[in-house]
Structure 1
Amino acid sequence: MCSGEVSNVAGAITALKLQRRKKNRVNVFIDDQYQFAVQRIIAAGLKVGQELSEADIERLKDEDEEQRAYERALRYLSRRPHSEKEIANKLSRNRIEIDVQDQVLKRLREASLVDDVEFARVWVENRQIFRPRSGLMLRSELRGKGVSKEAIETALEGFDEADAVLTVARKARKRYGDLAEEASNRRLRQFLARRGFSFELISSTLSILMDEESGSDEKSEVEE
């Protein structure tokens, strides 16, 4: 929370003025002297003539620090979903103290704005749609974002790795269609390995593809 010394000034609020450049900030004047500024949502609870003690001033500064951190976290979430750890890391980089981070994350959880299980589920779903990869790689990515093992395993329930690698392989195969079969298979193996799939699964998938291609060729010959 606020680490500065408590102001010696205490008295009645004589003015509440919006800042010119930061319309969400309100300057608080006590006995006609500027004392501190708070976010507009906090200033809404203040009024001219209200008496403030030194403890009140310190409490308002602490509330303001938390509110600014909370609004910063909301901006992060407006861009894309985040895990709790990602939000905490970003707040840390902005020198937000740990106890403030804890309060911000508590508020976000209570508002259902952060949920690591849901974050992991959406991550897996989006990966499988746009950049499919192995369960091993998905687990590694989510661990890197601070998601717990339990949340990761919940998100991966029903994940079919054999189906995932086959989907990836079918799409990737088209990239190497102009290459000789041996070169095409080698490039495809390398591509699938980079996505984290095991040697055994890659080999079985290539066998399926070759069977499909062989069946397609036979059908074409019959039709001709």
Structure 2
Amino acid sequence: MKLKRLLKNKYLFENGLSIGLNNEIVNKYDLKRREELSHEEYLQVLELAALSTSYYYLAKRDYTKKEIYNKLLQKYWEKNPIVKVIKRLEEVGYIDDKEFAISYVKTKKCGKKKIIYDLKLKGITSEVIEEALSFYEEEDELEELSRAWDKLGEKEEQKKIASLMRKGFSYGDIKRVIIKKREEEC
């Protein structure tokens, strides 16, 4: 695999991939002097670069396996090194879909349906979602729903209902909160 140095530590490979590499990788493979890498070396360079990038991403926020895989694949194009990186991150505990799902359930301020939908989009399995939902408090949902209703102010009732349903609250719960609010007013 031929490579060309573009800037200080930015390299362009013959397949069109252009990535910045840290000094450790550049020195380990002596990339300043070389113009070609074997396919195995190329994959090793990508794996080290993807690992370094994943640490950068994970320092900012938690990611699911699917999210970090997609981000790395978009940047490095090769599946095998990325799969190795994901396994490595799981082994050391930097990626844990179950912990992510539990944390997500505890912190999101929306309805159960929306939480399930969002977690599925993030690549969490149904089994893990069910387990995480055991931390979901129905009473907390009704309190959050009541606060969200009040926050919507003086809008028309139907618009409020539609807005809350988009946030994942069930129609039955919304109706319960409306009845409760009306009883409090009387």
Counterpart residue type for residue 172 of structure 1: W
- Superposition CA RMSD, Å: 2.8
Secondary structure of 1:136 counterpart: helix
Distance 2:127 2:72 in 1: 25
Secondary structure of 2:63 counterpart: coil
Q: Hey, which bits of structure 1, 4+ residues long, moved more than 6 A?
A: none
Alignment gaps of 5+ in structure 2: 10-21
Distance 2:66 2:158 in 1: 39
TM-score normalized by the length of structure 2: 0.76
Distance 1:191 1:207 in 2: 18
Distance 2:39 2:147 in 1: 63
Greater RCO (Cα-Cα under 8 Å, separation 6 or more): 2
How far did residue 83 of structure 1 move?
0.3
Distance 2:39 2:78 in 1: 16
Identity %: 26
Counterpart residue type for residue 194 of structure 1: R
Aligned to 1:204: 176
Alignment gaps of 5+ in structure 1: 6-19, 39-56, 215-224
Q: How does 1:159-198 map to 2 (within 5 A)?
A: 159-176=136-153, 179=154, 184-198=156-170
How far did residue 108 of structure 1 move?
0.3
Q: How does 1:1-224 map to 2 (within 5 A)?
A: 4=1, 21-22=8-9, 24=23, 25-26=26-27, 28=30, 34-35=33-34, 60-127=41-108, 132-176=109-153, 179=154, 184-214=156-186
Larger radius of gyration: 1
Counterpart residue type for residue 107 of structure 2: N
Size of the aligned set, in residue pairs, is: 167
TM-score normalized by the length of structure 1: 0.64
Distance 1:174 1:65 in 2: 49
